[in-house]
Amino acid sequence: MTRAETAYHGELGDYFAALATNNASNAHTDRPAMLKLAGDVGGMRALDVGCGAGHYAAELRNRGAAKVIGVEGSETLLRAARERLGKGVELHHHDLEEPLTFLKDASFDLAVMALVYHHIEARKQLLAELRRVLRPGGALLVSTTHPAAEWTWFGGSYFANERVEAPLDGGFTIHYRRMTLEKFLGELLGAGFVLEQLVEPRAMEEAREIDPRRYEKTHTVPYFLAVRLRRP
C-alpha cells in the first residue's frame, strides 16, 4: 500500500495558506465554530495539530493561551506560519502519520485538529498520541468534512470507506479518507475520549459578501462537522 500523503506541499501549500486566511469555508465557517468550542483558553497550553499556515495558533495565542505549539507536515505551510506567528509560537515540522515522540505526556490542556483528521491514515496511532499528551480533563477539538456532504458530493454508497480525490480551484487536487459518522465518532470514542459537544457549522455573516454561494450552501446542506471531546 502506498503511504498516504497528508500535507499540502509546494504550490498547493502556498495556495491553501492564502485561501484559508479569509475564505468562507476555513476563515468564516470552520474557524469560528472550533474557537467557540474551545471557549476560554486563557492560561492554557495548547497544541495545534496540522497547524497549516498558523491561523488557529494565532487565534489561540491572541485569546490568551499561555503556550501554543504547532505541528505540521508541510514545510511550505510552516514557512507561512512562521511569517504569521513570529517567534511567539513553537513550531515543529513533523509527519502526522508518525508518533509525536517529541511531546511529553500530559503536557497540554487543549489539542485542536482542524480539518486534518480525514487526511490521516494512522488515525488510531494519532489519537493514542493525543490522549497521551493531553492531561486528564484536557479537551480535544476535531473538525472534518461532514459525512453526509461526502455522500452528496461523491455519490455511491454512504457507507463507502475509501480515499477520494477532490478538485480545488486553481487546478489543484487533494486526497483524503471518506468515512461515515459512525466511523468518525467510533474512532474518537474508541480511543478513550468522551464526547462533550457536536456542532454542524454554518458560515458566519461575514462570508456572505466573500462567497455568497458558499454561504448559502453551508446554511442549506451539511458541510462540516466539529466535536469537542474530553480526555478522562
Instruction: Give the per-residue pLDDT at 9.
Output: 92
Residues 203 and 212: their CA atoms lie apart, in Å, by: 10
Q: Which residues contact 28 (CB under 8 A, 6 or more apart)?
A: 22, 203, 204, 206, 207, 210
Residues 104/133, Cβ–Cβ less than 8 Å: yes
Domain assignment of residue 57, yes or no: yes
First to last CA, the chain: 35
Give per-residue pLDDT as tens, 42-95: 999 999 999 999 999 999 999 999 999 999 999 999 999 999 999 889 999 999
Domain assignment of residue 84, yes or no: yes
Domain that holds residue 38: 10-230
pTM of the model: 0.95
Domain assignment of residue 171, yes or no: yes
* Segments of the chain with pLDDT less than 70: 1-4
Domain assignment of residue 167, yes or no: yes
Domain assignment of residue 204, yes or no: yes
Residues 217 and 221: their CA atoms lie apart, in Å, by: 6
Burial of 76 (0-12, 13-18, 19+ CB in 10 A): buried
**Average pLDDT of every residue of the chain:** 95
Domain assignment of residue 2, yes or no: no
Instruction: Give the per-residue pLDDT at 100.
Output: 98
∠228-102-142 over CA atoms, to 5°? Answer: 15
Domain count, the chain: 1
Domain assignment of residue 3, yes or no: no
Domain assignment of residue 1, yes or no: no
CATH of the domain at 195: 3.40.50.150
Instruction: Give the per-residue pLDDT at 1.
Output: 34
SS3 (DSSP) at 199: strand
Q: Which three cell numbers stand for residue 119?
A: 487526511
Residues 47 and 132: their CA atoms lie apart, in Å, by: 13
Residue 170: enclosing H or E segment and its boundaries? none
45-49 and 108-114 as β-strands: parallel, antiparallel, unpaired? parallel
Residues 89/70, Cβ–Cβ less than 8 Å: yes
